[in-house]
């Protein structure tokens, strides 16, 4: 059934973000999404949504730039007249020990994974009405980090989980729900489902495979739908048993 709702997804040109854009559009929402680089990838997502009779709008904005993110939010509202759903998906990962990573790499993760989420939500809040939905895309590494070199990344995702708990209290009186989706190992541009990296990851999973972006998108779709109206402040793990 078609919906009149409008969603904004940050980092929506590839991977989990693109799957979320496509799923919400298929569910009938008009979806704006941001991308930082590679306009051709963003255009491809727009075209795929249009092929399915959906509507999508791509907006260039680096999640680490509060001004650019605020402009993307304003443009979304200008084009479609409202904003009902925000999915803060944009994120970056850099592997290495705290003493080995360049300071710029650590700062970039904090800027995108933490500050970017905060500023996306701050910009969206004036436009979200009662019963608005906010979803962040965190990581299972906020709860479990079974390998070396992920401390800084895990720190940023743990911060997001804490932010969500606090925001659920702040925004509950307005009827706005705030939840955090924590994917485990999931297929992306650098890890195909049957490639060597994915096969190496399966030793940590209860299920003998890594996840698909569409599976993460399905959980997000549930959280922004009417049947999830009583879920808020939660970090929901979807990880094939990574934390089992």
Cβ contact 79:57 at 8 Å: yes
DSSP letter assigned to residue 211: B
Q: Is 35 a catalytic residue?
A: no
Q: How many helices (H) and strands (E) are present in the chain, helices listed first?
A: 8, 7
Minimal CA–CA distance to 75: which of 54, 61, 91? Answer: 61
The active-site residue, picked from 33, 35, 153, 242, is 153
Q: How far apart (Å, rounded) are the C-alpha atoms in residues 137 and 89?
A: 5
How many beta carbons lie within 10 A of that of residue 36, not counting itself?
A: 18
Element (H, E) at 52: none
* Strand ranges across the sheet with 177-183: 55-60, 30-35, 6-9, 83-88, 128-137, 177-183, 235-238
- CA angle, 170 then 175 then 177, to 5°: 70
How many beta carbons lie within 10 A of that of residue 227, not counting itself?
A: 8
| Burial class of 224 by CB neighbour count within 10 A (0 to 12, 13 to 18, 19+) | buried
What count of Cα atoms within 13 Å lies in the side-chain half-sphere of residue 20?
31
The set of catalytic residues is 153
């Amino acid at each position: 059934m078609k919906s009149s709702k409008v969603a904004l997804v940050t980092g929506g040109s590839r991977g989990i973000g693109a799957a979320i854009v496509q799923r919400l559009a298929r569910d009938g929402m008009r979806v704006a999404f941001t991308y930082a680089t590679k306009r051709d990838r963003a255009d491809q997502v727009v075209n795929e949504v249009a092929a399915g009779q959906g509507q999508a709008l791509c907006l260039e904005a680096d999640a680490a730039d509060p001004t650019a993110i605020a402009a993307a939010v304003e443009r979304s509202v200008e084009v479609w007249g409202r904003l009902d759903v925000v999915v803060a998906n944009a994120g970056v990962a850099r592997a290495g020990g705290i003493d080995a990573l360049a300071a710029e790499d650590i700062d970039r993760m904090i800027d995108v994974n933490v500050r970017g989420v905060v500023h996306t939500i701050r910009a969206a809040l004036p436009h979200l009405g009662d019963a608005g939905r906010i979803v962040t895309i965190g990581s299972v590494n906020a709860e479990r980090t079974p390998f070396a070199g992920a401390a800084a990344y895990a720190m940023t995702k743990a911060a997001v989980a804490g932010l969500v708990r606090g925001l659920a209290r702040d925004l509950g009186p307005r009827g706005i729900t705030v939840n955090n989706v924590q994917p485990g190992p999931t297929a992306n541009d650098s890890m195909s489902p049957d490639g060597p990296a994915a096969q190496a990851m399966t030793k940590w999973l209860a299920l003998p495979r890594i996840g698909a972006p569409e599976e993460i998108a399905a959980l997000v779709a549930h959280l922004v739908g009417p049947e999830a109206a009583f879920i808020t402040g939660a970090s929901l793990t979807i990880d094939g048993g990574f934390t089992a």
